[in-house]
Amino acid sequence: MKSRLKSLAFTYLFWLVLFILQKPIFLLFHWNSACRYSFTEWLRTIYHGFPMDLSMAGYFTLPILVLLLVSCFFSSDRIFGIIAKVLAIVFLSFGMLVLVSDLFLYKYWGFRLDATPLFYLSSPKEVAASGTAKEYLSALLLFSLFLGGSVWAYLKLHKRFFSFSGKAYVAFLPILLLGGVVFIAIRGGVGVSTMNAGRCYFSKEIFLNHAAINPTWNFISACFSSKRFDVQYRFMPDEEAHERVLPLLPVEGDSTTVRLLNASRPNVIFLIMEGIGSNVIETLGGEKGVTPNLDRLMSEGILFTHYYANSFRTDRGLVSILSGYPAQPTSSVMKYPAKTQNMAKIPLSLKQAGYDLAFFYGGDDNFTNLHSYLVTSGFEKIITEKDFGHSEMSAKWGAYDHVVLNRLLQDVDENPRRPFFKSILTLNSHEPFDVPMHKLAHPYLNSVAYTDSCIGAFVEQLRQRDVWNDLLLVIMPDHAFRYPEDMSSSCVERHEIPMLWLGGALKRQPMRVDTICSQMDLARTLLSQLDLPADDFIFSKDIFGQRTHKFAYYAFPDGFGLLDHSGVVIYDNAAGVTQRCDNDTLLPMGKAFLQSLYDDLAKR
């Protein structure tokens, strides 16, 4: 009996120590952020993450516990030892893969590994393009080192501590009782609440809270979370949510206060920039000297200075822009064609008004179901990476931004159909920031400077064409980027982006609009300017509406932010923590908004 109990104890303690060690590894790997905190804070990180490590160690111990229970009725122990080794190697391989992936992805995403990568596995080439060869080689070496070292340690200790022989009926009950203890560890205690990421939160510093989370637990938990939208984010009774969300919805019959256009059916171009936030644009208080062209253009057109991205990923940002639909914290609706096909879309509204539609993108439009979304949006022409030659392609993602922008100009010249709506999504300011220009030392800033130069040249060439006289050019990002790297994924600054309207179709420019708004408001605002119906855009509001509540909503992994003239609320649902609340009325409004969003998703 003692030998089996020792084997069980060894297994549990092995996993527990392994998970504890992952915390200083994470802190050391992200030294630029971690070095700002004292050794005491590091210890507190380990301490507050300890319950989750206990839980994850319990999960990995459960199969061995069952194995030991079965072994009580058999004389031979050899087969059980082999099975235990095989299970350990499988679990170690999985755990080290999660650990290394989390280490490298955190600096880009700013949150611990969850199920998000699974949304993109259907497009492995695009996933691979997100990193550099150096990063992948480093990750492979680190994975090999961690896996080799942990397997060696396990086998060495297994030989010493995992051994028993003969039947042991008397051991069955003690092991079963210990199974109850392991179950309590997995659950996180005997209280009402079960283990969740919020148990690890102890600091006002989000980085330290994130460092305390066990990445393997977080990933598995996200993978097995409910995919049913109607059971997620149930903060309050439906009737209460309906009442609280009403002030945030568009007001029926509301009229615009400002007329910006001098043409009833102008040509329209959406220039959607990959991952360029306000923090790298000098005009909006960001880095100096990165975007001289955008800075110049912002002094010429209509600049929206308090404009916010609804999410942190391209697939979610595009739906917010083109469908006026809020981003989700735990999913991407673009991955559900059956739901997106039922959504209102700006291109469809313009098509019904006689517009010719085209979409330009230098990458693969099969990534995250983008193609199906574009088709159901009514785009008749979709230009992607397959339409460009090898010499026009970057080493990673697809065609260079200047090449795709030139293709759009060519299409403007060759396609006489008017009016038109053309949308273009740039690409090269996405990691790994592979651009044919070397101006700035920081890879991300250098890629932004390259895209900025492409946009400057594109606008100047448009000005030289007659089409400029009745053109509305809308420039905005799909989302912002986590720069600097120690910026929290949940903070307001992480989601601040510019929106700029240019072109001869505007009768009022230059002009600054300081109203708080977000990507999902573009749909109703544009259609109102064009005197086209927009009632199907149930979440989008006219930025210039007389009676609409001026606010911005954004999603981050399992949480949301909401801001208006009264302040900001940031709520981390995974932790059950309100990170910031300037006004007590904002939190229930934000929760009601999110609950109503998921109710709508469930019905589509």
**Residue 439 near residue 445 (C-beta atoms within 8 A):** no
Whether 284 has a pLDDT exceeding 60, the answer reads yes
- What's the sign of the alpha-carbon dihedral 219, 430, 598, 122? negative
- Closest listed residue to residue 117, CA positions, set 125, 107, 127: 127
Whether 226 has a pLDDT exceeding 70, the answer reads no
**Residue 444 near residue 483 (C-beta atoms within 8 A):** yes
pLDDT tens digits for range 324-356: 999 999 888 888 877 888 899 999 999 999 999
- Enumerate the H helices of 30-38 as residue ranges: 31-34
Whether 123 has a pLDDT exceeding 70, the answer reads no
- Six-digit token pair at 546? 């007389």
pLDDT band at 124 (very low <50, low <70, confident <90, very high): low
- pLDDT at position 127, please? 61
Angle at the Cα of 580 (from 519 to 244), degrees rounded to 5? 60
Least confident of 133-137, 231-235, 376-380, 528-532: 133-137
Domain residue ranges in the chain: 2-223, 259-545
578-588 b/e (C-beta count within 10 Å ≥ 16 → b): ebbbeeeebbb
The average pLDDT across 429-435 equals 90
**Residue 408 near residue 415 (C-beta atoms within 8 A):** no
Homologous superfamily (CATH) of 259-545 is Alkaline Phosphatase, subunit A (3.40.720.10)
What letter represents residue 391's amino acid? S
The average pLDDT across 551-563 equals 96
C-alpha neighbours within 13 Å on the C-beta side of residue 68: 30
Average pLDDT taken over every residue of the chain: 91
pLDDT tens digits for range 462-480: 999 999 999 999 999 999 9
152-163 b/e (C-beta count within 10 Å ≥ 16 → b): eebeeebeebbe
Angle at the Cα of 553 (from 525 to 197), degrees rounded to 5? 160
- Quote the CA–CA distance of 531 and 402 in Å, as a whole number: 34
Whether 225 has a pLDDT exceeding 70, the answer reads no
The average pLDDT across 479-498 equals 92
pLDDT tens digits for range 35-56: 999 999 999 999 999 999 999 9
Whether 246 has a pLDDT exceeding 90, the answer reads yes
- Quote the CA–CA distance of 245 and 112 in Å, as a whole number: 30
- Quote the CA–CA distance of 513 and 307 in Å, as a whole number: 9
**Residue 542 near residue 548 (C-beta atoms within 8 A):** yes
- Closest listed residue to residue 207, CA positions, set 517, 440, 491: 491
Q: What does the DSSP 8-state code read for residue 401?
A: H
- pLDDT at position 128, please? 62
> Can you name the residues that pair with 439 across neighbouring β-strands?
none
**Residue 549 near residue 246 (C-beta atoms within 8 A):** no
Most confident range (mean pLDDT) of 115-119, 312-316, 405-409 is 405-409
Whether 148 has a pLDDT exceeding 80, the answer reads yes
| Burial status of residue 134 (CB atoms within 10 A of its CB: 0-12, 13-18, 19 or more) | exposed
- pLDDT at position 401, please? 96
Whether 192 has a pLDDT exceeding 60, the answer reads no
pLDDT band at 302 (very low <50, low <70, confident <90, very high): very high
**Residue 539 near residue 597 (C-beta atoms within 8 A):** yes
Q: Is 531 left (phi over 0), alpha (psi -120 to 50) or beta?
A: left
Whether 507 has a pLDDT exceeding 60, the answer reads yes
**Residue 345 near residue 322 (C-beta atoms within 8 A):** yes
- Quote the CA–CA distance of 378 and 224 in Å, as a whole number: 35
Residue of higher predicted confidence among 416 and 147: 147
Whether 151 has a pLDDT exceeding 60, the answer reads yes
Whether 395 has a pLDDT exceeding 80, the answer reads no
What letter represents residue 452's amino acid? D
The average pLDDT across 569-589 equals 93
Whether 83 has a pLDDT exceeding 70, the answer reads yes
φ and ψ at 280, to 5 degrees?
Answer: -115, 15
pLDDT tens digits for range 350-369: 999 999 999 999 998 877 77
| Burial status of residue 195 (CB atoms within 10 A of its CB: 0-12, 13-18, 19 or more) | buried
What letter represents residue 10's amino acid? F
Whether 250 has a pLDDT exceeding 90, the answer reads yes
Residue of higher predicted confidence among 197 and 556: 556
- Closest listed residue to residue 214, CA positions, set 33, 17, 34, 66: 17
Whether 430 has a pLDDT exceeding 80, the answer reads yes
- Quote the CA–CA distance of 272 and 158 in Å, as a whole number: 56
